[in-house]
Amino acid sequence: MNIKRVLSPNLFQVSLTIVFILLFTYACTKAPITGRNQFILVTQDQELQMGDVAYTEVVNSSKISKNPEYNAAVKRVAGRIAGVANRPDFEWEYTVIDEDKTINAFALPGGKIGVYTGILKVAQTDAGLATVLSHEVGHATARHGGERITAGLLSQIGAVGLAAALGGSGMDPNLTYGIMQAYGLGVQVGGILPFSRSQESEADRIGLIYMARAGYDPRESVLFWQRMAEATKNSQRPPEFLSTHPDNGTRIANLQRHMPEAMRVYTTSKKAPNNKINFK
């Protein structure tokens, strides 16, 4: 049945508007700490399922560290961060992955956290590790994964609509192809990459507050990113506008800008011990 034929043009437009209003009402939420309005088309249950699947795949395909010092440090610090993240619905799990050359960590929807051993030497202390883990937990609590899926879906919808419009225009196929390529590049450089960098900056800010709430000195975050800059100075990185992450200098500047807010939180928190991580 063609709904346009059943409904008058005005009624069809009104009905379509109502559908979009309901969709946006259902999909709109706010990020923690920053209060930024978000538009997410996937449900939290769907995110949790995807997080579980991805976490299982990573754990099953990775060498898991048996180092008791590393595991104790991650559980100790992650437990404090999780305790202030205000997500009792998350089933927190922590895994240390034995890859000394990988300077990275991740947190998936539902509180599944993975830490590669390579980043522990950059962290050096509990407070350094708290910088890493609070940032990753910030991604999870702000539902950045769901936002990225939504951004991908919207860009695909835009591409389909553009292709349909160009296909019916009688335009030269080579020109059509060029326009579609330009659209894809524009979406990536002008939309998806800046959006990804803004999420990273937001996770830094959320993480700064989380580590302060958990009793870790937020000023340690600046020292961590200075060590990260030194540890990765020889790595090949694209210019910032072509990267998914802000460069280290940008991150440090943003952290310093939000430091007064974090220090106010830190002064009222129960202080955590800043143990030094022993490497073996």
Given 47, 93, 99, 136, the catalytic residue? 136
**Cα(57)–Cα(61) distance, integer angstroms:** 6
Measuring CA to CA, which residue among 197, 130, 145, 186 is closest to residue 162? 186
Cβ atoms of residues 49 and 149 within 8 Å: no
Cβ-defined contacts of 179-186 (< 8 Å, 24+): 183/158, 183/159, 184/159
**Cα(197)–Cα(239) distance, integer angstroms:** 12
**Cα(203)–Cα(87) distance, integer angstroms:** 16
Exposed (0-12), middle (13-18) or buried (19+): which is 38, by Cβ within 10 Å? middle
Q: Is 166 left (phi over 0), alpha (psi -120 to 50) or beta?
A: alpha
Residue 96 has which token pair?
């240390």
**Cα(150)–Cα(100) distance, integer angstroms:** 34
Q: Which phi and psi angles does 39 have, rounded to 5°? A: -125, 110
**What is the DSSP code (8-state) at residue 243?**
S
Measuring CA to CA, which residue among 154, 168, 190 is closest to residue 176? 168
Q: Is 136 a catalytic residue?
A: yes
**Cα(97)–Cα(228) distance, integer angstroms:** 19
Active site residues per annotation: 136
